[in-house]
A = this chain, B = another copy of it.
Amino acid sequence: MSATSPLSSPSPGPLTTKGASTNIVWHHSSVDRAARAHQRGHRSAILWFTGLSGAGKSTLANAVNSTLFEQGLACYVLDGDNVRHGLCQDLGFSDADRTENIRRIGEVAKLFVDAGVVVLTAFVSPFRADRARVRALVPEGDFIEIHCAADLAACETRDTKGLYAKARAGVIKEFTGISSPYEDPEQPELRVETGSQSLEDCVSQVIVYLEEQGIIPAAA
């Protein structure tokens, strides 16, 4: 489009197709993911932290995020708490709602990846099938499943939010690990022993992996 043509002129790309069989077409932005990665100096990816309530997912995700931010990288944490207040406020904790919750989060994470952002998600995400669907949304290598592998006894003993006690008392229904299953990742990219290792060691394990995969540059 020339600088002086009216904006209502046909634009290049699929939107100009006359007689398209659908009114939904992917609009190709003129700034693509490769251009963003080139400008920013790093790739984007989904770091999908999964594990029981209290296993340390948000703590680890935020610590990794801080480390990436300090290196000047584009990064952002989505977690069950902030997303549940907004995008997924209409959803509960039934199996069907959990599945829809994870689906939406996966789609949002995909948008962040397209925007060039390393997006860290911290959700219990107990079902293998739900996690597999998110993995399938993005190209191979872009979905990094990180199992925060603190065991149930440790999480329940700790119970920093008092949720396990409420679940045992039946006040909270369908609570993962107590009254709803957690399906362990079978082949996660990373398994982090968040119940026994120090936070610093857990962060290092993730950062080293990202460097090895060429997602972020090796620290100077």
* Residues in B whose Cβ lies below 8 Å from that of A29: 62, 65, 77
Q: With A30-B62, A65-B30, A112-B115 known to touch, is A161 a contact of B6 (CB < 8 Å)? A: no
CA A25 – CA B8 in complex, angstroms? 46
CA A60 – CA B121 in complex, angstroms? 32
Let me know if B112 and A81 touch, CB within 8 A. no
CA A62 – CA B128 in complex, angstroms? 37
- Counting every copy of the chain, the complex holds 2
Q: In the assembled complex, how far is the CB of residue A159 from the closest CB belonging to chain B, in whole angstroms?
A: 8
> Contact flags (1/0) for A153-168 with B, using CB distance below 8 Å?
0110011111100100
Closest B residue, CB atoms, query A63: B30
Let me know if A59 and B11 touch, CB within 8 A. yes
CA A8 – CA B8 in complex, angstroms? 58
* Residues in B whose Cβ lies below 8 Å from that of A189: none
Binding site for B on A (CB under 8 A): 1, 3-8, 10-11, 15-20, 23-27, 29-31, 35-36, 39, 53-56, 58-60, 62-63, 65-66, 69, 72, 74-87, 104, 107-108, 110-112, 114-115, 117, 122, 137, 150, 154-155, 158-163, 166, 172, 194-200, 202
* Residues in B whose Cβ lies below 8 Å from that of A17: 161-162
Let me know if A198 and B5 touch, CB within 8 A. yes
Q: Which of B59, B108, B162 contacts A87 (CB 8 A)?
A: B108
